[in-house]
Amino acid sequence: MKRANTFEVIPQSDEDEELLRRLLDASAALWNEINYERRENYADPDADVWDISEYRGRYSGTLGASTVQQIERKNREAWKSFFALKEKGEANGKPGFWGNADEGRELRTYIRNTSYSVEWGEYSRLEILVGKDLKDEYGLGHRERLRLEVRGDPSWQEYEKQGRLELFYDEQAQSFRAFQPVTISENHSRLAQPLASEEAALDIGANNLVACTTTTGQQLLYEGRDLFDRFRETTREIARLQSLLEEGRYSSHRIRRLYDQRTKRRDHAQDALARDLIERLYDEGVSTVYVGALTDVLDTHWSVETNAKTHNFWAFRAFVKRLACTAEEYGISVEVRSEAWTSQECPNCGSTEDTTRHRDTLTCPCGFEGHADLTASETFLRRQTTVTRSMARPVCLKWDDHDWSESPRSALNEEHTNPQVASVGR
């Protein structure tokens, strides 16, 4: 099973910090050179985007040959992802640059799994490979690696295999951080087993991030309007700053910081949502979670705003992967299935053409009225399994920048106080 450790990295001296910064800056410079060459090749109909120069001769003395290889490989992965999204009509732009020398580069590098080691204990430490030229300049021995202090309590200190290390400088926190993918055993001591064999279905919406219904009769609604409004405000500010750039420039220090801030805020909320949701479902005895496919959302409810929410803000595939990884810890499986028309189907009469959705409410001429996203999640669940229990009053959760907490004064409880409205298909 794939998992990841995230921890803070602390140089033990000013000289070590200077060496580390030079290593990360050289990595950014290498990324930019590779990316520029591939962009030029992409624009030339007679060139091959994968045909690039040999960079080891110029950068291996600073980075080490294995790190040069890893950065080239990471850039190749970024371009492969771009082409895959482009083929689906979902690409938002070619892979970007990591800043520039004048305004400051994004300090980041990728180190091969055999070129670093982590020791956990009272004095945890990380050792990474650096190039021969930097070793000579800073007095490191031929076989010596740069030793850095590690601060934090990673969840997965016992693992079968470690992956490529991502090491970067976090401008928001003003600290160096590391992201370490690891492979753990299926019998790892921290992995749990489901308490029962209940099931749940999730509807991923444009305004409410997740609506969930379980076979135990539980319904959960994670509100997303405030969170997306902040995301959109930051996006507009980025667009405004980009419009002020001189011709030929792609970004600025301020724009990169806003991108970073926007992404971290979104990812933090999604990480917390996945954890909160899975822990609640585990307590309900859920063993299988069904997630509606993103293509169904776009096919039935496409709009510019919805597209921005599902593609840019939601980062659907990343969220499902995050959800599945968290669920694995509890022995819960996650399956992506079609949810076409569930958000328009009346649970009373089955009509999809006569129903009307206004904001969060779904109504039908047959007399049904209920919360649209919760209705969709229950309809989706009923397509996968038999639901025999009636639905309890929904639990609405809101994000406060730190946690998802139940909100007794939410719009759900204020507007849908009628039991026929608050529940679905009863």
Q: Tokens at residue 341, please?
A: 């028309």
Longest dimension (CA), the chain: 81
C-beta atoms surrounding 33 within 10 Å:
18
> What is the mean predicted confidence (pLDDT) over 380-392?
89
Overall pTM surpassing 0.85 (yes/no) = no
pLDDT for 419 beyond 80:
no
Q: What is the DSSP letter of 158?
A: S
Are 370 and 425 in contact by the 8 Å Cβ rule? The answer is yes
pLDDT for 97 beyond 60:
yes
Task: Identify which has the larger pLDDT, 354 or 92.
Answer: 354
Question: Could you read off the pLDDT of 233-250 as tens digits, one per residue?
Answer: 998 999 999 899 888 777
- State the sign of the Cα–Cα–Cα–Cα dihedral 291, 297, 299, 304: negative
Are 310 and 298 in contact by the 8 Å Cβ rule? The answer is yes
Question: Measured between alpha carbons, how far is 194 from 200 in angstroms, rounded to an integer?
Answer: 13
Question: Measured between alpha carbons, how far is 212 from 310 in angstroms, rounded to an integer?
Answer: 17
Beta strand segments in 67-189, E: 99-100, 104-105, 108-111, 116-119, 125-128, 146-151, 161-162, 165-170, 175-183
Is residue 289 very low, low, confident or very high in pLDDT (cuts 50, 70, 90)?
Answer: very high
> What is the mean predicted confidence (pLDDT) over 412-424?
42
Q: How many residues make up the chain in this entry?
A: 426
Query: Comparing 18-22, 167-171, 300-304, 351-355, which segment has the lowest mean pLDDT?
Result: 300-304
Smallest Cα–Cα separation from 155: which of 180, 173, 186, 125?
A: 180
- Based on the number of CB atoms within 10 Å of its own CB, is 358 exposed (0-12), middle (13-18) or buried (19 or more)? exposed
Edge-to-edge strands, sheet with 404-406: 333-337, 286-292, 198-203, 208-214, 219-223, 395-399, 404-406
Question: Measured between alpha carbons, how far is 178 from 166 in angstroms, rounded to an integer?
Answer: 6
